Amino acid sequence: MKKTVFSITAFAISAAMLVGCGGAKKEGGKKGALSGSNAEKVYVAPGEHDEFYAFISGGFSGQLAVYGLPSGRLFKVIPIFSQDAEKAYGYNEETKPMLETSYGFVPWDDAHHPDLSQTKGEIDGRWCFINGNNTPRIARVDLKTFETAEILEIPNSAGNHSSSFVTENTEYVVAGTRFSVPVPQRDMPISEYKGNFKGALSFISVGNEGEMDLSFQILMPGFDYDLAHPGRGASHGWFFFTTYNSEEANSLLEVNASQNDKDFIAAINWKKAEEYIAAGKFTTVPAEYAHNVYSDRTHSATSTMKKEVRVLNPADCPGLVYFLPTPKSPHGCDVDPSGEYIVGNGKLSANLTVHSFTKMLDAIKNEKFDGEAYGIPILKFEDVLAGTVVQPGLGPLHTEFDDKGNAYTTFFISSEVVKWKLGTWEVLDRKPTYYSVGHLMIPGGNSQKPWGKYLVAMNKITKDRYLPTGPELCQSAQLYDISGDKMELLSDFPTIGEPHYAAACPADLIAPNQTKIYKLEDNQHPYVAKSEKETKVVREGNVVHVYMTMIRSHFAPDNIEGIKVGDKVYFHVTNLEQDYDVPHGFAMIGANNSELLIMPGQTETLFWEPKQVGVWPMYCTDFCSALHQEMQGYVRVSPAGSSTALSWSLDGE
């Protein structure tokens, strides 16, 4: 124990020395923009469009932010796992089911790794997937609407971290559990973790319309599964997951999970898994997990509880899993565009380890094993090693690639990005980040076709980088030009929450496919009113349904009487507009939830429980038109038991 503490201290001291020796000079931010043409490189003139969409995770905000590159302009925050009062996500009746889980309604999560759908190994611009860490979930965002279309809970998991990465034809999106847990969950002593806890790796199939289905889980030994990336090209059909805590410690992991010289990268042959599934080698185990789907037709989500999952046990499935020894608690697990190299970013390792897929296949064929763990063969380190990047920096976290055979790795402790050459393993360039970088992202970086023009480094700490805002500061993204031999820091911009990881692609893969309005005639919401003539107020006991419409610049009806204290009122509001970028809002005084923000042709529902007698206003919250301020109305609330008749009107008619 003492020894470990000492070595970590030494580590930190040497880190400090390295940084002190010119690793991180200030000039990068202070006069960089003036020293070259950097300002021009990120300037996108008013009215012009950015070249790339960047989807940057909001981390603990639970959301996904959409930026343009190179400008760093923020276009939209897409609510995924957290309620968003601005858009009524998780507040209106239609989207509440999106946040249902086997634990009930969970209105927050820790969003980590977005990944874009692919076809033939290239980004196709259809969907963006992102994982929720805390209450294990994967969400799919439809890039036609930039709305969360689907959320699937992951059973037998805890801390859904090595997620949500897709295979090269989006056959699967994967989810690996950070925490191993008892499977199935049961009441048992924590100290009996070792050998008893399991780590589930989940393979979720993705259909032609994007629909997700938990196809199978592989029940792995009780390690922690950190990150993952798919094979591509020749290695398509394999998936690689980094592990840490191969010690199977259950306490003080910062020390106890750093004991082994090497942890593992788990190489999963998912095509083999499909064979085993087809051959019936799985067991079906009871589980409980929510599957939530939003429909653009009904403008509503449904939540279905699923009851079982197919499980493969590696010990019963030879050839399914191999372990590649990888030094020191690797974090990022990154496969180069060719599919040959698998980079293990050993967080506590002095060197960066790169495995060879070809050598791996050879070692498997010739059974060059170095023992086994829980029935899973461990390949000999020397026999799978492609090369080592020697002493590139401190605290390697994550690597991505350009289209010229170079790799770029972030180093958390030494706060830098290091460019190195695949094959020769030589370091070509290093640039400081400000400060403490986590992941980095190159557009198309997790695909066969990266666009090696920009690199975005995502920093955890900003200290003196921006105007201070009290104790809590924003985190940041930093944009580098990587088109030349040397990287060049162009700009940095603040992000929402924690910019944990990101995905990006050229805008023309996404922009032309946008839904601009929802066709009113296609609206299948059960409470839609497609014209003012269809508006009405219906009482069913103490439940009142208001079928309401909105168009510039009034609600129909806008005067409602006969509501009583104790009623449960549902305002089903349809935006009759068929004009791009003309949403309307709806707010009711005293509503215990949020506003509604309704797109053209869409219907949303606000629940309101009037508690006080009186005449209460409602109004449009979105500055929709020249007469927006006039877009308002009243609801008369009478005492419970009052005989005031139910009535509604617009302009007295």
Partner 1 sequence: MKTKLSLLGIAGLLMVFVSCGTDQSASSNATAGTSEAEQNTPLGQASVVDEASDPNILQVAIGSEAHSTLVAAVQAAQIEHVLVNAGPLTVFAPVNEAFDALPEGTVENLLKPENKATLAGILTGHAAPGSFDVEGLKKEARKGRKLYMADGSYLEVTTEGEDVLVAGAKVIATIQTSNGIINVVDKVILPE
Nearer to partner 1, 213 or 630 (CB): 630
Sheet-wide strand order for 160-166: 115-119, 122-132, 137-142, 147-153, 283-295, 300-312, 212-220, 199-206, 172-177, 160-166
Element (H, E) at 30: helix 27-30
Integer Cα distance of 397 and 440 in angstroms: 9
Nearer to partner 1, 49 or 194 (CB): 49
Token pair listed for 354? 């790169």
Shortest gap between Cβ of 535 and partner 1 (angstroms)?
A: 15
CB 405 within 8 A of CB 421: yes
Is the link from the previous residue into 164 a cis peptide, with omega within 30 of 0?
yes
Shortest gap between Cβ of 509 and partner 1 (angstroms)?
A: 10
Nearer to partner 1, 1 or 45 (CB): 45
- Return the biggest CA–CA distance within the chain: 87
Alpha helices in 263-315 (DSSP H): 270-278
Nearer to partner 1, 474 or 582 (CB): 582
Shortest gap between Cβ of 561 and partner 1 (angstroms)?
A: 21
Shortest gap between Cβ of 508 and partner 1 (angstroms)?
A: 5
Task: Specify the DSSP class assigned to residue 639.
Answer: P
Alpha helices in 284-401 (DSSP H): 357-365, 381-384
Q: φ and ψ at 386, to 5 degrees?
A: -90, -40
Nearer to partner 1, 205 or 553 (CB): 553
Nearest to 99 by CA among 115, 88, 112: 88
Q: Which residues bind partner 1 (CB under 8 A)?
A: 45-49, 51, 507-508, 511, 515-517, 551-553, 577-580, 582, 600, 624-627, 651, 653
Nearer to partner 1, 51 or 115 (CB): 51
Distances (CA, A) of 599 to 180, 227, 516, 582, 623: 43, 37, 9, 7, 13
Task: Specify the DSSP class assigned to residue 490.
Answer: E
Nearer to partner 1, 73 or 271 (CB): 73
Nearer to partner 1, 239 or 518 (CB): 518
Integer Cα distance of 7 and 11 in angstroms: 6
